[in-house]
Structure 1
Amino acid sequence: MKQIPTYIINLEERKDRLKSVLKQFENRPEFKLNIVTAVKKKEVMLGYGKQYKT
């Protein structure tokens, strides 16, 4: 069976939320979970703008 790539984005300090989300995916082998640690930044648009600056 092909797995559906699924990305979970979570702040490192929110271990409770990650635990809750992982529980929702228990016994769901059709999903391939990829956990990404979120970054808390005050100036999000600045980082976004630099990424696409030409």
Structure 2
Amino acid sequence: MKDLLPDLCDLYPEQLQIADAIFTSYGKRCHFYGQVVTVSCFEDNSRIRETRQ
């Protein structure tokens, strides 16, 4: 599969933000994409389940 990230960064430099690669496994997928959302859930992860619905 072609790596589209350099092309996207060239075409849309003001609209893209690149997240730091802090994870090592993505469910055996080489690439993934989507909106990133930060959820604050101190000692209660039920907020995470709410975002997936």
Using structure 1 for the length normalisation, give the TM-score.
0.27
Q: Which has the higher helix share?
A: 1
Q: Which has the higher strand share?
A: 1
Task: Pick 1 or 2: higher relative contact order, CA cutoff 8 A, min separation 6.
Answer: 1
